[in-house]
Chains A and B, each alone.
Chain A
């Protein structure tokens, strides 16, 4: 699934830096959903919905867990929390994606990535 998304980004002419950003954010969001959301329960599922065009990638990842308050996660760059194992993945998602939003329950995340102007490739003009 993830490999196919990354392949489609390439097909749609996305550059390496943007693909890295999407890849890292997807990995972090999926680990959050499986490990922290569903607590690695094999009977629970994670739902992924995504859409892709030449300029914008959208993805929604939902788990079946209790949810969490993303605003309650401490800043992992704060020296007091730098040794904490939580918060770094969320910070990377927020930095690398254009927009990151959670639902009210906190068990579904919607991420958006707009293609960087510097990543424009002229050899693959695919548009869907």
Chain B
């Protein structure tokens, strides 16, 4: 199957810095099942074909994080971890961080203030 170019995603914007993929979730309120399905499909295309195991997901646009989107991120984190990487989340609004704390996922994901700190953490962690 032909790989989808990184620039042709709709629900995410992807940049690479070395072996780290910096991913921005583009939808502020992905609540529609079709939006969630698209996010799952595009993150899968990024993680499952081995193009990116180390990810930083920048949530600065995200105003709202329903459990359906959290579930997608949990699945993708596990897949990325299985490939020797993982997902670091950065630039979370306080209410989004609160949602992760309530669901116990603030310990499942690594949380960083911004992309620079997340990149530095990936650098320290190595491969």
Interface flag for B64 (CB, 8 Å): yes
New contact pairs (10) apart from A27-B31, A77-B104, A83-B74, CB-CB < 8 Å: A20-B95, A27-B66, A28-B66, A31-B31, A31-B33, A82-B105, A89-B68, A91-B102, A92-B67, A92-B99
Interface flag for B83 (CB, 8 Å): no
Residues of B within 8 A of A92 (CB): 67, 99, 102-103
Interface flag for A124 (CB, 8 Å): no
Residues of A within 8 A of B78 (CB): 83
Partner of B103, one of A20, A31, A40, A88: A88
Instruction: Report the interface size class on chain B.
Output: 10 to 19
B32: min CB distance to chain A, Å: 10
A93: min CB distance to chain B, Å: 10
Instruction: Report the interface size class on chain A.
Output: 10 to 19
Interface flag for B70 (CB, 8 Å): yes
Known: A17-B95, A24-B66, A27-B66. Is A88-B71 also a contact (CB below 8 A)? yes
Residues of B within 8 A of A89 (CB): 66-68
A40 CA / B34 CA spacing, docked (Å): 12
Closest B residue by C-beta to A23: B64
A27 CA / B35 CA spacing, docked (Å): 14
Closest B residue by C-beta to A88: B67
Residues of B bordering A, CB below 8 Å: 31, 33, 64, 66-68, 70-71, 74-75, 78, 95, 99, 102-105, 108
Partner of A82, one of B33, B99, B104: B104
Residues of B within 8 A of A76 (CB): 103-104
Interface flag for A95 (CB, 8 Å): yes
With most chain A CB atoms within 10 A of its CB, the pick from B64, B75, B103 is: B103
A20 CA / B65 CA spacing, docked (Å): 11
Residues of A within 8 A of B99 (CB): 24, 92
A40 CA / B102 CA spacing, docked (Å): 28
Residues of B within 8 A of A117 (CB): none
A22 CA / B67 CA spacing, docked (Å): 15
Interface flag for A35 (CB, 8 Å): yes
Q: Are A35 and B66 in contact, with the CB atoms below 8 A?
A: no
Interface flag for A85 (CB, 8 Å): yes
Known: A82-B74, A95-B102. Is A31-B68 also a contact (CB below 8 A)? yes
Closest A residue by C-beta to B36: A31
